[in-house]
Chains A and B, each alone.
Chain A
Amino acid sequence: MPDSHRPDPTGRPGIPAATAFAALPLESPSRSVWPELAQRLHRRRRRPHPAWLLAAAALALVAVLPLADRPAIVPIDPAGQPSVDLDPRIAALRAESARLEQSIAHDEGLPFSAPLAALGLDIEDRLRLIDAQLAQPTDDPAEQARLWQQRITLLRDLDHLQQARFELASQGRAFDAALVVAY
């Protein structure tokens, strides 16, 4: 803090500049700029992700998921999960899992290209494995929580894939074409 912010110990006359400045009233703008800022915030939220970003996200999934021959997509049935625990943490994870499944189900009817189908199938295979483990009786809540967390992670991946599919479809672009552009 500058020395001028302290009272003058000698009692000299006059007003310290800092005191005079601090006594000035705060000014108000002639208009609020918040409506413009809010409008920009809304526009940013509505702006679709660029195709290359969506394709890159999908390709990142390709990198982490080993591709193999798979059966057709089978809907995941949350009702098939065991409901033996009342651990609040696991209950919260299950609720989140159910919410994500609901979100994914709402995207049915969108165009489905072959690469996207392969990615989706891979995720769903992994989900089936986890579901099988969850169906086994266990008294280990930590292990249950870990499996539910894995399930949520996979569902989020699937959800992102669906979002990419949706946004590309809304831009009139095919997922396959976006992959080509990215490479």
Chain B
Amino acid sequence: MPWRIQIIVSAQSAFAIDLSDALLARARKGEEAALEIIYRRFERPIYTLALRMTGDPEEALEVLQNTMLRLIDKFSDFRGDSPFWGWLRQIAVNETLMRLRQRGRLLYTDELPEPESDPADDRLPPAAADGARLIRALDRLPQATRSVLWLYHGEGYTHPEIAAMLGRTVSFSKSQLARGLARLRTELGVAPTEVSHHA
């Protein structure tokens, strides 16, 4: 019997939390209570993003702390012409990528580029509905691949945005994504072509 699973969830980033202008104004002045509220709201989204990309709880904690420190230092740079959460998320992504670079984990080999996948070919086997299994599979991917995968499918960044953040080409981002999805299907116990054969 062919399997069909439809999970209805919000595809929005976990960062998509709106804060009041009054709270942001207080935080901009350095008011500790306001900064603590922001920390409480964004603690888990920041930590989760860093954990998914680094795969290391201690590093994710450091990213969380450094992101908040940078936020406090740079609050005056936030002009308010875009959502606050997007600005904070960008700080968190930059912190995570910087950490990965420092540890030499975003070194890329000059492999031949893989063919880019069909944008519609983004489906994972039903085993992906098992969260623990999906996380284990993600953890087995190379960090550069996992980062691209998470930034694209987890946070909704576009290929040009990811390429700019990584200092690479759009083709690189696309090929990493294709590679990541193929590896993920394999890790989840399904051959890369098996998903589409069920259509």
Contact = CB atoms under 8 A, between A and B. Distances in A.
Say if A and B assemble together: yes
Contacts of A176: none
B152 interface: yes
Contacts of A4: 119, 122, 152-153
Contacts of B72: 37, 41
A23 B120 contact: no
Nearest to B118: A3
A104 B134 CA distance: 64
Interface stretch (B2-10, B90-98, B101-109): B2-10
B199 interface: yes
Contacts, number: 136
A83 interface: no
Contacts of B154: 18, 21-22
A27 interface: yes
Interface in B59-100: 60-61, 64-65, 68-69, 72
B16 to A, nearest CB: 11
Contact of B48 (A15, A19, A26): A26
A16 to B, nearest CB: 6
Interface of A: 1-5, 7-8, 10-34, 36-38, 40-41
Interface of B: 2-7, 9-12, 14, 30, 32, 35-36, 39-40, 43-45, 47-48, 51, 57, 60-61, 64-65, 68-69, 72, 119-120, 122-126, 128-129, 131, 134-135, 149-150, 152-154, 156, 158, 181, 184, 195-196, 198-199
